[in-house]
């Protein structure tokens, strides 16, 4: 299938009204592009460690939407575009819509969700085999510790340096029967690894509801009982209800593969979740933010016991004394 993309050239002042117009006409999924820098709060919410370099904010904005390019729908499509143009002209009464023009292009129907699968193949992390769910286990891999993962729309195939750093630390510090808290669980890979390595149970949190679905699906393909893991949607940093729900002094291991700018404000609430002697294993830390994370963990009362590097990424492991 092919799609026609249409870009409305407008202003930042009008972009929200343009999106609302599209929504009223039944056009969903509009994409906004402008040169307005993200605030610090927005970067944190979106887990952006490196804000994009933007040109000078000139007040312009592009709002792009897509329509099916099927020739049979040409009449309906043209009628819909005419309504969009009329709506833009009507908006001029209320605000500066800028050019208010529409440009179009045609694109093939790209399967964004699944095309990346061409680049995810089985691999070993030390003696742990991590494989995608859609590939069979080879005879030579029988009897190995096998983690099967379908990340879906969440992050976590196990190939990223930060995930590997966390997995190695789980293997080093986790004991059989330990209770594990996985903060920012994503696809659930660290929870699954922990259980495969002998954890008694896991609790996980993530700000994205879709990650919880992905995690439970990956539990199923790894033949792990659903009741071995309990997962919640929420932000552990400031959600006191979630903090109470996951518990206090309840975990031998807390693992967080997130980002430095999330770990730092989260640091004060982590020790309360940990048992005495418990370990906090964290990564997602770019090397130039290592010292800031270390300082935050120490200020929270944790003892730094180990720092590891892989490429430009850092793991910090700390103990609650």
DSSP 142-205: TTSEEEEE--TTSS--S-SHHHHHHHHHHHHH--TT-EEEEES-TTSHHHHHHHHTT-SEEEEE
Host H or E run for residue 101: strand 101-108
> What tens digit of pLDDT does each residue of 145-197 get?
888 876 554 445 556 788 889 999 999 999 999 999 999 998 898 999 999 99
Q: How many other C-beta atoms lie within 10 A of the C-beta of residue 310?
A: 14
**What b/e sequence results for 121-147 when a residue is b if at least 16 CB atoms lie within 10 Å of its CB, and e otherwise?**
eeeebeebbbbbeeeeeeeeeeeeebb
**Is pLDDT larger for residue 69 or for residue 215?**
215
Enter the pTM of the model.
0.63
Q: Return the pLDDT at 77.
A: 86
Q: Say which residue the tokens 């699906």 belong to.
A: 217
Judge contact between 222 and 196, C-beta under 8 A. yes
Q: Return the pLDDT at 111.
A: 52
Q: How many other C-beta atoms lie within 10 A of the C-beta of residue 28?
A: 10
Q: How many other C-beta atoms lie within 10 A of the C-beta of residue 290?
A: 17
- DSSP helix/strand/coil, 120: coil
Q: Return the pLDDT at 155.
A: 47
Report CA-CA distances (Å) from 150 to 138, 147, 156, 159, 189. Answer: 18, 10, 9, 13, 9
Whether the per-residue pLDDT at 51 is higher than 70: the answer is no
Q: How far apart are CA 86 and CA 88, in angstroms?
A: 5
Rounded to an integer, the average pLDDT of 274-293 is: 94
**Closest of 298, 262, 269 to residue 283, by C-alpha:** 262
CA 210 to chain centre: 10
Q: Grade residue 133 by pLDDT with cuts at 50, 70 and 90.
A: confident
The angle at the Cα of 212, spanning 316 to 266, to the nearest 5 degrees, equals 35
Q: How far apart are CA 158 and CA 169, in angstroms?
A: 14
Q: Grade residue 4 by pLDDT with cuts at 50, 70 and 90.
A: confident
Rounded to an integer, the average pLDDT of 22-35 is: 86
**Closest of 183, 201, 199, 200 to residue 267, by C-alpha:** 183
Strand order from edge to edge, sheet including 128-132? 123-125, 128-132, 145-149
The pLDDT > 70 percentage for the chain reads 85
At 44, list the tokens. Answer: 């944190």
* CA dihedral sign of residues 319, 317, 230, 129: negative
Judge contact between 224 and 195, C-beta under 8 A. yes
Q: Return the pLDDT at 72.
A: 62
Report CA-CA distances (Å) from 71 to 3, 8, 27, 77. Answer: 11, 22, 18, 9
Mean pLDDT, all residues of the chain: 85
Q: Return the pLDDT at 109.
A: 54
Q: Grade residue 55 by pLDDT with cuts at 50, 70 and 90.
A: low
Rounded to an integer, the average pLDDT of 245-258 is: 96
Rounded to an integer, the average pLDDT of 233-254 is: 96
Rounded to an integer, the average pLDDT of 265-272 is: 97
At 59, list the tokens. Answer: 């007040």
Q: How far apart are CA 321 and CA 318, in angstroms?
A: 10
């Amino acid at each position: 299938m092919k799609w026609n993309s249409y870009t409305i050239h407008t202003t930042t002042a009008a972009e929200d009204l343009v999106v609302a117009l599209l929504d009223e006409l039944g056009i969903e999924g509009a994409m906004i592009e402008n040169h307005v820098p993200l605030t610090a709060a927005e970067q944190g919410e979106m887990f952006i460690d490196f804000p994009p370099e933007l040109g000078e904010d000139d007040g312009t904005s592009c709002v792009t939407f897509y329509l099916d390019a099927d020739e049979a729908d040409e009449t309906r499509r043209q009628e819909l575009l005419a309504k969009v143009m009329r709506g833009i002209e009507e908006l001029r009464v209320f605000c500066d819509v800028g050019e208010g023009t529409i440009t179009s292009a045609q694109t093939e129907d790209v399967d964004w969700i699944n095309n990346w699968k061409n680049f995810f193949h089985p691999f070993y992390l030390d003696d742990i085999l991590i494989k995608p769910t859609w590939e069979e286990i080879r005879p030579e891999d029988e009897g190995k510790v096998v983690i099967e993962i379908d990340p879906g729309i969440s992050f976590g195939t196990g190939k990223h340096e930060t995930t590997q750093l966390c997995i190695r630390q789980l293997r080093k510090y986790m004991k059989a029967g330990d209770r594990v808290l996985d903060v920012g669980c994503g696809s659930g890979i660290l929870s699954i690894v922990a259980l495969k390595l002998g954890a008694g149970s896991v609790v996980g949190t993530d700000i994205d509801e879709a990650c919880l679905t992905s995690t439970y699906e990956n539990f199923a393909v790894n033949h792990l009982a659903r009741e071995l893991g309990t997962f919640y949607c929420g932000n552990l940093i400031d959600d006191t209800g979630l903090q109470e729900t996951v518990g206090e002094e309840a975990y031998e291991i807390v693992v967080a593969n997130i980002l430095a700018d999330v770990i730092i404000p989260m640091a004060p609430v982590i020790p309360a979740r940990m048992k005495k002697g418990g370990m906090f294993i964290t990564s997602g830390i770019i090397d130039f933010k290592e010292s800031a994370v270390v300082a935050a963990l120490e200020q929270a009362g944790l003892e730094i016991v180990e720092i590891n590097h892989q490429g430009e990424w850092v793991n910090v492991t700390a103990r609650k004394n």
